[in-house]
Amino acid sequence: MTAAETKPSDLVPKLPEDYRPLSPGRVVLWIWALSATFMLLIVIFVLVVAAIGIGNFETHYGIFFAQAGCSSYWDFILEANSRGLGAAEIEELFMVHGGVGQYSISETCGTVGDVLDRVP
């Protein structure tokens, strides 16, 4: 076929015979599927972050101190000490109310005895 024999319609690519344009219903379905997938990823991310936070500090005291930092933990110990509680009583308070979470706080922020030793 020479250039003179070429028709403009020969230059346009042909669509496959089974080609179907997207119907409005299929477009809505795709949008719904993509948004549902995105929302699921957000939920998974939030659950993973929550699981990490709860796993690091297993008690309600631990969660509070993890969010507020060690200064709140130290303030709690100093406040309890100023009310007449010694290191053993404060540790017992953590054991009664906090269970094993106290140990992870102690590793991060220091034991009750360490905190009280720093007080002049």
Overall number of domains in the chain: 2
Rank 8-12, 54-58, 72-76, 105-109 by mean pLDDT and report only the highest.
72-76
pLDDT at residue 65 tops 60: no
Q: 97 near 59, Cβ under 8 Å?
A: yes
More confident residue, 38 or 51: 38
Q: Are 68 and 120 members of one domain?
A: yes
Q: How many CB atoms lie within 10 A of CB 74?
A: 19
| Sequence-ordered list of residues with C-beta below 8 angstroms from that of 93, at least 6 positions apart, any chain | 80, 85
pLDDT at residue 33 tops 90: yes
Report the sign of the C-alpha dihedral through residues 14, 19, 23, 28, in that order: negative
User: Is 93 within a domain?
Assistant: yes
First to last CA, the chain: 100
Q: Are 78 and 40 members of one domain?
A: no
Q: What residue numbers bound the domain in which 63 lies? A: 58-120
pLDDT digits (tens, 9 = 90+) for 39-57: 999 999 988 877 766 655 4
∠30-32-36 over CA atoms, to 5°? 120
User: Is 112 within a domain?
Assistant: yes
Where is average pLDDT lowest: 31-35, 38-42, 66-70, 89-93? 66-70
